[in-house]
Amino acid sequence: MAATARHAIAGGAAPDLIVGHGVLGRLLARLAVLDGGSPVVWETNPDRAAGALGYRVINPAEDDRRNYRAIYDVSGDAGLLDTLISRLAPGGEIVLAGFYSDKLSFAFPPAFMREARIRCAAQWLPADLANVRDAAESGTLSLDGLITHRQDAASAPDAYRTAFTDPACLKMILDWRDCS
């Protein structure tokens, strides 16, 4: 996921707003800070607001800024585009780096008035992986706090239920050591 975050950033301007403080949002923010940025992260779930390392996490209701140059959305919320477009500076870019199970759509006039650019971030490339591997090995990129849950593989149904329904679960590891 760190390589995916690096790839998203490598394709354009550094994020000054990141939407979502799950694992990908945290990695985007950490990489942006390493690159000299100071992004703001929007998170509506108080259970996910903690854990910021060098950046601010706020509820979007507390933010009245409307001049973000680069908004990176990793929320997976297909209904946010109009809200994000309303927060863009003229000529700004929205980077879609999350997974969206619903169709994305937006009102054209506000996007037109801002000359909004919308980019889809693709999967990482080998250079992205090498970059984040080196940063993690050197200690400049912290991977701390990203894996929040572990369960034995025999408990996989419960683990999947937790992973997909518990907002406090960022990433789950299934431990296969006792399986034969």
Q: Where in the chain are all domains bearing CATH 3.40.50.720? A: 2-138
Q: So what's the architecture of 2-138 in CATH?
A: 3-Layer(aba) Sandwich (3.40)
pLDDT of residue 41: 98
Identity of the amino acid at 162 = T
Strand order in the sheet with 88-96: 56-58, 40-42, 17-19, 68-73, 88-96, 117-120
In angstroms, what CA-CA distances link 159 with 76, 144, 154?
A: 21, 21, 9
Supply the pTM of this predicted model: 0.93
- The pLDDT, as a whole number, for residue 11 is 79
CA distance 117 to 115: 7
> pLDDT, tens digit, for every residue of 92-105?
999 999 889 999 99
Question: 40 pLDDT exceeds 80?
Answer: yes
Q: Is it the case that residue 13 has pLDDT exceeding 70?
A: yes
Q: Which two tokens stand for residue 106?
A: 């937006």
In whole angstroms, what is the distance from residue 106 CA to residue 73 CA?
14
Closest CA to 58 of 73, 36, 43, 74: 43
Alpha helices in the chain (DSSP H): 2-10, 23-34, 81-86, 108-114, 126-138, 156-165
CA atoms of 14 and 36, how far apart (whole Å): 9
Task: Identify the bridge partners of residue 118 per DSSP, sorted by sequence position.
Answer: 94
Residue-wise pLDDT for 65-87, tens only, equals: 999 999 999 999 999 999 999 99
How far apart (Å, rounded) are the C-alpha atoms in residues 109 and 112? 5
